[in-house]
Amino acid sequence: MKIYDIAFVGMGASALGTYKLKYHNKNFSIIGIDKNFNKSRNNFFAFWMTDWMVPFKSIVKNQWSKWEFYYQKQKITHESIASPYCVIRYQDWKKFCLADGHNFSIKENNTIKIKKKDDFFEITLDNEEKVYSKKIYDSRSVDIEHDGLKQHFIGNIITVSNGHQIKNARLMDFRVKQDQGLHFIYLLPLDDNRLLVESTVFSKFLLDPSWYKNQISTYINENLDIEKYEITDSEQGVLPMFEINSQNKGNYVQIGAKGGATKISSGYAFSFFLKQLTSKDKNYQSYWDKWMDKIFVKYLENNDKSDEIFMKMAEKLNGEEFSSFMMGNAKFITKLKTISAMPKIGFIKSYLRIVLN
């Protein structure tokens, strides 16, 4: 009976990163288990450039030093040359992490059960096969049936045959329907002909795919000066906006979204699990940031008109401050500025809801 040193149960973004940064070609026997391992997934991972993301600069696909927010007639533009907004694509990440790896094998299966034996684990696969390992990194998907707030979205990559004139990333464009929760368009110009246009909702309930697709086409017709385009690719996701507490025990370790890496107010997780892997600080986010996020999300859950709060926050901060706030490395003064943009009574109520719960 072969007992591997390490088993990755779920071989997505965080498992790939953990392999690359901790185990790549070291003296360990490693197995990855993931039914979707060879699927054509190629989503974008966005983040603002920080010191701990510099080692991955070579695989950054696009970067924008300016990003924008839109609400009714208002437009706010941020700029940061030092911390541009960047994206890495999933397939580039996978290639980067696995390149020349020779201490690694893969099983394209789902994991049905993990059982602790004496000093190793027994992993049962969907074909009844058993795999044994001394240590497990578990990144299987989080439960989206949870009744908490979620960020859900569909994005289309559109190819515009005559080209477009959009230069900056649009982080949040609220000039769209607001009847299903907080809704905005996220838009990235990928090159002179291609745009990623995403319809994103913060709410407890998922919508029919046709809803997001209609929002995207309406937005393109009403807000972009584009006549003819073709949808050439798409991505979709459901990200938790509720706290996930990892349940690590000995050699069983939860990582990625399952391990609590998601910044719940934004859905960003990619840079946070990499921060944990590359720094001495073993927390994804600081205690303070987690509390702020919890209060903020509680506020979103119980109040309309949250679009105005995002705009106020964007208005108070400059590009450097905003990116540092989003990446969890803001100075104290930036945190104070952010708090000053929040509605005081609503936030006190949200705080009380959390502590009294």
Ligand X SMILES: Cc1cc2nc3c(=O)[nH]c(=O)nc-3n(C[C@H](O)[C@H](O)[C@H](O)COP(=O)(O)OP(=O)(O)OC[C@H]3O[C@@H](n4cnc5c(N)ncnc54)[C@H](O)[C@@H]3O)c2cc1C
Judged by the rule CB under 6 A, the positions of this chain that interact with ligand X are 9-15, 33-36, 43-47, 110-111, 139-141, 235-237, 239, 256-258, 267-271
Distance CA 162, CA 73 (A): 27
Distance CA 88, CA 154 (A): 18
Residue 10 or residue 319: which is nearer to ligand X going by CB?
Answer: 10
Take residue 248 and report the two structure tokens written for it. Answer: 């690590």
Distance CA 207, CA 153 (A): 9
Residue 219 or residue 273: which is nearer to ligand X going by CB?
Answer: 273
Distance CA 293, CA 4 (A): 38
Take residue 14 and report the two structure tokens written for it. Answer: 């965080």
In whole angstroms, how close is the CB of 36 to ligand X at the nearest point? Answer: 4
Residue 62 or residue 139: which is nearer to ligand X going by CB?
Answer: 139
Residue nearest to ligand X (CB): 12
Residue 269 or residue 317: which is nearer to ligand X going by CB?
Answer: 269
Cβ atoms 139, 259 nearer than 8 A:
yes
Residue with tokens 């390992």: 133
Listed in order, strand segments (DSSP E) in the chain are: 3-9, 30-33, 44-48, 62-64, 66-71, 74-79, 85-89, 104-107, 111-116, 121-125, 130-138, 150-160, 169-173, 182-189, 194-203, 229-240, 252-254
In whole angstroms, how close is the CB of 336 to ligand X at the nearest point? Answer: 25
In whole angstroms, how close is the CB of 103 to ligand X at the nearest point? Answer: 20
In whole angstroms, how close is the CB of 273 to ligand X at the nearest point? Answer: 7
Residue 126 or residue 192: which is nearer to ligand X going by CB?
Answer: 126
Take residue 222 and report the two structure tokens written for it. Answer: 């009403």
In whole angstroms, how close is the CB of 7 to ligand X at the nearest point? Answer: 10
In whole angstroms, how close is the CB of 16 to ligand X at the nearest point? Answer: 8
Residue 181 or residue 328: which is nearer to ligand X going by CB?
Answer: 328
